[in-house]
Amino acid sequence: MTKFIIPKIPNKNQILQFFKKNNLKDLIELSQTPKKQVNEMIVNSPYSPDLKDLYNLYHFIILNKRTTILEFGSGWSSIIFSLALNELKKKYSNSIKDLRRNNPFEIFILENEKKFFEISKKRSNLYQKKLKLNTKVNYLFSSVSMTMFNGRVCTEYKKLPLCNPDFIYLDGPDQFNVQGNVNGINTGHKDLMPMISDILKIENFLTPGTIIVSDGRAANIKFLRDNFSRKWIYKNNKISDQHILYLDDPCLGKYNKLQLEFYK
């Protein structure tokens, strides 16, 4: 039996119709902004929306009936996650009452750039009203510093939100805003890459069925896979440069069993 569903790759017309249908035509126009070049890595303004990625993320949440999202980094994905959780809340509010999910249909957003933190909060409030969403969005700002994990140089957030997500989207932190160094190493060099260790530190709390998705960040995903202590299924969608991890540990008991049955 399929453990989780990977959305099918849409054609251009399907993507455009999705955004028009959901009153997000402005994102279509914004998506036309030229993409950054390979070494244009220090960003001073928000990225333009990638419609294909956003379409894919929305359907990932809907098809797999996720309830609680933890997003490392913030951006247009935060709006799409709010939209998806709002749809699921309408359908399944009564169905999750017997589950051990105490932050149902909530999104937790962790950001390490104050400028983008404020932009994302303002944008979130705007679209919540515009789209008439009833999704609870929790924002947390935290600095990021260099550290070690299992003898490997990496980064860590100073603070993490208090939640137990069943969907984690890895899209942060900004590698050029990381404090300190380890033996002179800091991710601020353009030839290095983001390398968070935070998911490893909370792995023991995650429930079987948890999904991690990352668009790019292949080196960080490899680091996580090499250091996880539990059983994870890994898929790499090379066409979309997307990495997917599914926690396939044995069921923890009654409440986890109900949670896994809900996903089906």
Task: Give the DSSP H/E element, type plus range, for residue 64.
Answer: helix 51-64
Question: Is the CB of residue 232 less than 8 Å from the CB of residue 247?
Answer: yes
Classify residue 215: in a domain, yes or no. Answer: yes
Question: Is the CB of residue 15 less than 8 Å from the CB of residue 28?
Answer: no
Classify residue 19: in a domain, yes or no. Answer: no
CA distance 262 to 258: 6
Classify residue 53: in a domain, yes or no. Answer: no
pLDDT at residue 164 greater than cutoff 90: yes
Classify residue 252: in a domain, yes or no. Answer: yes
> At 108, which CATH number?
3.40.50
Q: Is the dihedral of CA 164, 132, 73, 248 positive or negative?
A: positive
pTM, entire model: 0.93
Per-residue pLDDT tens digits for 56-83: 999 999 999 999 999 999 889 999 999 9
Classify residue 255: in a domain, yes or no. Answer: yes
Name the residue range of residue 152's domain: 66-263
Per-residue pLDDT tens digits for 187-229: 999 999 999 999 999 999 999 999 999 988 999 999 999 999 9
State the pLDDT at residue 40.
47
**Helices 51-64 and 76-92: crossing angle, nearest 10°?**
30
What average pLDDT does range 243-248 have in this prediction?
96
Per-residue pLDDT tens digits for 9-51: 899 999 999 999 999 999 999 988 766 555 545 555 567 899 9
Per-residue pLDDT tens digits for 116-160: 889 989 999 999 999 999 999 999 999 999 999 999 999 999 999
Classify residue 153: in a domain, yes or no. Answer: yes
How many separate domains does the chain show? 1
CA distance 89 to 66: 10
Helices (H), 105-217: 114-130, 198-202
Q: Please give the full DSSP string across 113-142, using - where no structure is assigned.
A: -HHHHHHHHHHHHHHHHHTT---EEEEEE-
Classify residue 97: in a domain, yes or no. Answer: yes
What average pLDDT does range 230-241 have in this prediction?
90
Per-residue pLDDT tens digits for 82-114: 999 999 999 999 999 889 999 999 999 999 998
Classify residue 259: in a domain, yes or no. Answer: yes
The values of phi and psi at residue 53, to 5°, are -65, -45
**Helices 51-64 and 12-21: crossing angle, nearest 10°?**
70
State the pLDDT at residue 9.
86
CA distance 143 to 257: 36
